[in-house]
């Protein structure tokens, strides 16, 4: 067991702790770059580890880059650097920890009765460095010992919650708990007082080690578990998402939307300057004797793509429509002129609902208003009357539906007309491709009249389609 | 750590006090970030709703360190000729015209094109020298002898390209001018950027900055701010007023009143010699606080509740 001088051990532990905290933040999906980490270390050196709120404010400035990240950061900081609870008044006379500093969890050592008569059976154990450290409650020696043992046991490889016990055992072994256990067994019959004392110290040690392992789990494994959950959720059929997963799904979707918006928002702003505007340049050159000091450029008028989403909101498909609309409105920044229509039997425009209400509520209303037996023919008819005149070469029309029309006429002629006018007609079908054309599905016919027909029933597919939509700009 | 440039900013408590005596009441978080910005020589990106004192922070900071404030207001279409530097075209032109006559003297006795050219080359960059360089805010801030405070206001209004332009300035405190070379800041200015969050800023820009989000203040803090700005208003009245504003902020409004509006309201109440916050007074002066007709109507509908909140 290596024992460093206390203060260097503390400084090293602090900056290690900071690095582990950065790891923890990354697990919480705050992107922290190595440069940010260096900043954080500099900040921490500057403000010190003593004052908790100071450290929190300082680190927040370096690590949290937006309001959203700030709230995540604050929660994470509080979780990670838990303030030390009040020490039990008994025996807390020696070490004065500044309140709220970042120390190891508290120990609750029952003082060993100092008035033990005669020779102390514990004398046999004195000299064992672990026992001495525990008995004298040598904070820094213990922390260092536990850190060393934790490293030896490779605690950072923990991946499942159920592995905790196993790692606690490993660390205890590495610490040399064995010797204490044997001593305890020895005392059990002969020296009940000594037995109690040793067991209490061992329990205290075990408590600390358990804490250490749990922290390691939080840092290293919970992030991995979260990733796993996210990944499986983004592959899950959206129709099967149950209520308990909604919050996570929404988070996931928001993150995807942010990513897409960031990626494509940028592209849109490029190439704004067009060719030289000769006339205006010459005119402006008159005062300078015909020398064109101030060239004028034409502006390129970019046709922003407009999305018109036509969604089937009848029972089987409603869930998917909901997600498509949620996604489209989440990328509103980049696709500002999205119009949405909902139908089941009749069709109506629902853009206003989405503009004024939160998405979930809007969906509820839509379902209420336009629910009923599906009729694609009538829906397309209604759409043509409502908005066909505004479909032009900048419009992308997305239809979401299973194309199961209860044997009625799907009005493919209208679809063909939309295709002819629109820049793009995309049909998204939540059913898997194998089922297209079976039963009353008109999908195979419909497919011919679309620029693109795709299966779309999970978040990954949805993201890919919206990504495609956004990158397809002139 | 070079605290030498701005000795006034080397201690958090001192910063708070200095700011307070300059009329800006700030939280420890704000003071901490200002302290870090001075010590780490990093720009501060301030975000928050309009009217919480983002711009004011930079101004106060300039006052506290007693250095000039260089302000760059961003808008769509802002480019390097407005933000960094520009060549004085007019002057260049005028000088070429004036010096036309001198040309004969310079070229006197030169034989052939090559010789004339090499003569001219000797005068090469006369027209692209500092004498013809018009410094715009960013360059001005770099050139300031003793440092200073650079405020880049509403960076979110500028185009995306402009952000990239800023990167060199923000991380290396230098400006590259192709004709002259690189101009390095004599002593690094304190840089504040403000954003109203109308769009996401690029990661590259965010990475170079310390972050400060200023939310609406707590009741106590706002009462202190109002008291320092409008000392003529009675204490009890200030408290009532601030509680009222806080209650209004919790309503679903188009634009929630900011600190500046609270202060304006307090000032108008002083002008009206109001002794107590009563219903009719509030109704008459609500337009100071709320800027949209719909908002005023919502607030009037909730008036009894708001008054109750104000009474505490």
Residues in chain B closer than 8 A to A358 (CB atoms): none
Residue B212 has pLDDT above 80, yes or no: yes
Give the gap in angstroms from C-alpha B237 to the nearest C-alpha of chain A.
32
| CATH code of the domain in which A361 resides | 3.40.50.410
Residues in chain B closer than 8 A to A62 (CB atoms): 36, 210-211
Q: From A290, which residue of chain B is nearest by alpha-carbon distance? A: B93
Distance CA B281, CA A76 (A): 46
Residue A258 belongs to some domain of the structure: no
What tokens does B292 get?
């949209």
Mutation target vs B (from A61, A65, A67, A284; most B CBs, 10 A cutoff): A61
| One domain for residues A315 and A276 | no
Contact: B200, A261; criterion CB under 8 Å: yes
Q: Among A199, A231, A263, where does a domain finish?
A: A231
Residue A101 belongs to some domain of the structure: no
Cα dihedral B19, B24, B26, B30 sign: negative
Contact: A70, B213; criterion CB under 8 Å: yes
Give the gap in angstroms from C-alpha A64 to the nearest C-alpha of chain B.
7
Stretch among A127-141, B62-76, B199-213 having the lowest mean pLDDT: A127-141
Contact: A65, B212; criterion CB under 8 Å: no
Q: Say whether residue B207 is in contact with chain A using an 8 A CB cutoff.
A: yes
Q: Say whether residue A469 is in contact with chain B using an 8 A CB cutoff.
A: no
Residue A223 belongs to some domain of the structure: yes
- Between strands B69-73 and A273-276, the pairing is unpaired
Q: Is A448 helix (H, G, I), strand (E, B) or coil?
A: helix
pLDDT of residue A93: 40
Mutation target vs A (from B164, B210, B212; most A CBs, 10 A cutoff): B210
Mutation target vs A (from B31, B32, B33, B95; most A CBs, 10 A cutoff): B32
Give the gap in angstroms from C-alpha A5 to the nearest C-alpha of chain B.
27
Contact A87/A2 with Cβ under 8 angstroms? no
Contact A323/A354 with Cβ under 8 angstroms? no
Mean pLDDT across chain B: 86
Low-confidence stretches of chain A (pLDDT beneath 70): 1-13, 82-120, 222-223, 265-273, 300-304, 333, 359-360, 371-372, 472-474
| One domain for residues A334 and A455 | yes
| One domain for residues A225 and A296 | no
| One domain for residues A285 and A174 | no
| One domain for residues A54 and A195 | yes
Contact: B202, A266; criterion CB under 8 Å: yes
Residue A325 lies in domain: 306-471
| One domain for residues A44 and A171 | yes
Residues in chain B closer than 8 A to A266 (CB atoms): 160, 202
What tokens does B233 get?
């208003």
| One domain for residues A23 and A171 | yes
Q: A267, A275, A231, A265: which is closest to A249 by C-alpha?
A: A231
Residue A220 belongs to some domain of the structure: yes
Out of A36, A57, A261, the one facing B29 most closely (by C-beta) is: A57
Contact: A57, B32; criterion CB under 8 Å: yes
Rounded mean pLDDT of B188-215?
87
Q: B246, B239, B244, B240: which is closest to B218 by C-alpha?
A: B246
Q: Say whether residue B42 is in contact with chain A using an 8 A CB cutoff.
A: yes
| One domain for residues A209 and A149 | yes
Contact B177/B138 with Cβ under 8 angstroms? no
Q: Say whether residue B40 is in contact with chain A using an 8 A CB cutoff.
A: yes
Residue A241 belongs to some domain of the structure: no
| One domain for residues A295 and A211 | no
What is the value of pTM for the model shown?
0.64
Residue A397 contacts by C-beta under 8 Å, 6 or more apart in sequence? A308, A310, A391, A418, A422, A424, A425, A426
Give the gap in angstroms from C-alpha A4 to the nearest C-alpha of chain B.
28
Residue B3 has pLDDT above 80, yes or no: no
| One domain for residues A216 and A325 | no
Residues in chain A closer than 8 A to B200 (CB atoms): 66, 258, 261-262, 265
pLDDT of residue A359: 67
Residues in chain B closer than 8 A to A64 (CB atoms): 211
What percent of chain B lies above the pLDDT cut of 90? 21
pLDDT of residue A101: 41
| One domain for residues A195 and A284 | no
Q: Could you count the other beta carbons within 10 Å of the beta carbon of residue B101? A: 8
pLDDT of residue B69: 92
**Check: complex ipTM more than 0.85:** no
List the alpha helices (DSSP H) in A236-295: 243-269, 278-285
Residue A359 belongs to some domain of the structure: yes
pLDDT of residue B143: 86
Distance CA A238, CA A235 (A): 8
Q: Say whether residue B89 is in contact with chain A using an 8 A CB cutoff.
A: yes
Residue A443 belongs to some domain of the structure: yes
Contact: A46, B211; criterion CB under 8 Å: no
3-state secondary structure chain B: CCCCCCHHHCCHHHHHHHHHHCCCCCCHHHHHHHHHHHHHCCCEEEECCCCCCHHHHHHHHHHHHCCCEEEEECCCCCCHHHHCEEECHHHHHHHHHHHHHHHHHHCCCCCHHHHHHHHHHHCHHHHHCHHHEEECHHHHHHHCECECEEEEECHHHCCHHHHHHHHHHHHHCEEEECCCEEEECCCCCEEEEEECCCCCCCHHHHHCCEEEECCCCCHHHHHHHHHHHCCCCCHHHHHHHHHHHHHHHCCCCCCCCCHHHHHHHHHHHHHCCCCCCCHHHHHHHHHHHCCCHHHHHHHHHCHHHHHHHHHC
Number of domains in chain A: 3
What tokens does B193 get?
């950027």
Q: Say whether residue A38 is in contact with chain B using an 8 A CB cutoff.
A: no
| One domain for residues A30 and A144 | yes
Residue A293 belongs to some domain of the structure: yes
Q: Say whether residue B254 is in contact with chain A using an 8 A CB cutoff.
A: no
pLDDT of residue B46: 93
């Amino acid at each position: 067991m290596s024992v460093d001088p206390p203060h260097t051990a503390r400084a090293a532990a602090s900056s290690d702790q900071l690095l582990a905290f950065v790891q923890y933040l990354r697990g919480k999906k705050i992107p922290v770059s190595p440069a940010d980490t260096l900043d954080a270390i500099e900040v921490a050196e500057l403000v010190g580890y003593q004052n908790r709120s100071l450290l929190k404010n300082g680190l927040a400035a370096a690590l949290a880059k937006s309001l959203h990240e700030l709230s995540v950061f604050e929660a994470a900081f509080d979780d990670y650097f838990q303030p030390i609870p009040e020490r039990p008044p008994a025996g807390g006379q020696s070490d004065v920890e500044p309140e709220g500093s970042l120390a190891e969890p508290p120990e609750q050592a029952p003082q060993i009765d100092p008035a033990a008569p005669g020779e102390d059976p514990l004398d046999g154990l004195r000299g064992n460095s672990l026992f001495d450290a525990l008995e004298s409650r040598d904070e820094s020696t213990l922390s260092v010992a536990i850190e060393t043992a934790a490293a030896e046991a490779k605690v950072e490889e923990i991946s499942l919650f159920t592995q905790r016990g196993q790692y606690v055992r490993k660390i205890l072994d590495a610490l040399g708990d064995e010797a204490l256990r044997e001593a305890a067994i020895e005392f059990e019959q002969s020296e009940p007082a000594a037995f109690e004392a040793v067991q209490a110290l061992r329990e205290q040690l075990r408590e600390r080690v358990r804490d250490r392992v749990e922290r390691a789990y939080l840092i290293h494994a919970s992030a991995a578990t979260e990733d796993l959950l996210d990944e499986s959720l983004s592959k899950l059929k959206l129709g099967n998402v149950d209520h308990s997963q909604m919050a996570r799904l929404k988070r996931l979707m928001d993150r995807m939307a942010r990513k897409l918006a960031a990626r494509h928002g940028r592209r849109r702003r490029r190439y704004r300057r067009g060719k030289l505007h000769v006339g205006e340049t010459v005119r402006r050159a008159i005062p300078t004797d015909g020398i064109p000091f101030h060239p004028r450029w034409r502006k390129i008028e970019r046709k922003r793509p407009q999305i018109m989403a036509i969604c089937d909101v009848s029972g089987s498909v409603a869930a998917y429509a909901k997600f498509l609309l949620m996604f489209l409105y989440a990328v509103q920044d980049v696709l500002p002129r999205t119009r949405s229509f909902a139908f089941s039997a009749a069709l109506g425009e629902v853009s206003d609902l989405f503009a004024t209400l939160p998405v979930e509520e809007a969906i509820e209303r839509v379902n209420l208003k336009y629910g009923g037996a599906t009729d694609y023919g009538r829906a397309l008819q209604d759409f043509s009357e409502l908005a066909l005149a505004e479909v032009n070469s900048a419009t992308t029309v997305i239809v979401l539906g299973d194309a199961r029309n209860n044997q009625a006429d799907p009005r493919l002629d209208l679809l063909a007309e939309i295709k002819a006018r629109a820049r793009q007609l995309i049909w998204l079908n939540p059913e898997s491709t194998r089922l297209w054309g079976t039963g009353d599905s008109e999908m195979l016919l419909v497919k011919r009249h679309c620029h693109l027909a795709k299966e779309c029933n999970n978040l990954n597919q949805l993201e890919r389609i919206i990504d495609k939509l956004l990158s397809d700009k002139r | 750590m070079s605290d030498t440039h701005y000795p006034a900013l080397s201690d958090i408590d001192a910063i708070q006090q200095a700011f307070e005596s300059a009329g800006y009441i700030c939280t420890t978080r704000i003071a901490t970030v200002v302290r870090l910005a001075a010590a780490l020589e990093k720009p501060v990106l301030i975000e928050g709703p309009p009217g919480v004192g983002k711009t004011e922070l930079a101004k106060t900071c300039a006052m506290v360190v007693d250095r000039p404030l260089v302000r760059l207001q961003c808008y769509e279409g802002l480019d390097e000729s407005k933000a960094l530097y520009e060549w004085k075209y007019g002057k260049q032109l005028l000088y070429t015209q004036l010096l036309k006559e001198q040309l004969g003297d310079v070229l006197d006795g030169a034989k052939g094109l090559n010789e004339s050219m090499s003569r001219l080359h000797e005068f090469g960059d006369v027209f692209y020298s500092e004498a013809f360089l018009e410094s715009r805010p960013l360059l001005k801030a770099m050139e300031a002898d003793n440092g200073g405070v650079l405020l880049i206001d509403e960076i979110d209004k500028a185009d995306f390209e402009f952000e990239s332009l800023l990167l060199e300035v923000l991380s290396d405190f230098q400006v590259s001018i192709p004709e002259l070379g690189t101009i390095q800041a004599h002593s690094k200015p304190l840089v504040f950027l403000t954003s109203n969050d109308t769009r996401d800023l690029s990661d590259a820009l965010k990475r170079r900055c310390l972050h400060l989000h200023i939310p609406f203040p707590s009741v106590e803090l706002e009462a202190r701010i109002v008291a320092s700005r409008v000392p003529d208003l009675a204490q009890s009245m200030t408290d009532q007023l601030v509680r009222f504003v806080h209650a209004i902020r919790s309503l679903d409004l188009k634009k929630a009143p900011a600190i500046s509006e609270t202060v304006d309201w307090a000032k108008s109440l002083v002008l009206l010699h109001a002794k107590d916050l009563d219903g009719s007074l509030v109704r008459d002066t609500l337009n100071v606080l709320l800027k949209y007709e719909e908002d005023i109507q919502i607030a009037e509908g909730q008036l009894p509740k708001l008054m109750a909140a104000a009474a505490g």
